[in-house]
Amino acid sequence: MQARIADLEEKLAQADRIIVSALATSVSLGDMSKKLQSAHAALKDALTSRGKRVA
């Protein structure tokens, strides 16, 4: 259980870093959109992984 929590926390931290980077370094709206989509994918992956492990 501890490993699952740690994995989820790492994925959430990764998404957070991507979001912060997108807001700080984007050179255009399109660039920010791509970076935020990456964050969304990381969060979706975390939720999907969590759901599979709990089931």
pLDDT single digits (tens) 1-46: 788 888 888 888 888 888 898 889 888 999 889 888 988 888 888 7
Whole-number pLDDT of residue 52: 61
pLDDT-derived band at 55, boundaries 50, 70, 90: very low
The token pair that represents 1 in the structure block: 């259980």
Domain regions of the chain by residue span: 2-54
| Predicted pLDDT at 23 | 87
Spatial separation of the C-alpha atoms in residues 44 and 52, rounded to whole Å: 12
CB atoms within 10 A of CB 46: 19
At 50, the pLDDT band (50, 70, 90 cuts) reads low
Q: Tell me the three state secondary structure of residue 55.
A: coil
